Chains A and B, each alone.
Chain A
């Protein structure tokens, strides 16, 4: 299956600042997603990153807080804006090639907000 890389792998940020996480897939995928995994918890879908258009957000997540870009079929960014300690989590991107394919995940970005 394809390989996803994420940058940065981890970061420690100050309250009120923003961090942009990059996700790169080594092949074109139909869909890309962003998930959040709070410490010791399961994964929660934040949004679907749509190529060339605005992302589709799940309930409880908004564009102002988590702006997402997807300029092409292999790259996406997630920004965590105006961070608070509650945003401390692992953020994971995933790629999905479409019907019949498997969804695969990047290694995650571990974010700590002080």
Chain B
């Protein structure tokens, strides 16, 4: 079945630094990838949608200059949290889909802690 690998699973960084999170589709070509943020005991909030080779589409209220998304290939999307602050600490989850795979395949998530 479709598998999405997300790395790293946990990261701790200092305030002001940048962190990159990778999301890879291992056995299928992901035409579209999504990035979500999840606060404790809450649902997933869509941050942005990215299509391979195109600029990401950000949801209202998400700072595109802070959360840089790159989808350079059909199997890889990256989310870079720039100049991280403690309020950026959260669980970030990616998902991927293809034109023929109804529903999304999710990565295992990344727990980001900014200290």
Chain A complexes with chain B: no
- B→A interface (CB under 8 Å): none
- A→B interface (CB under 8 Å): none
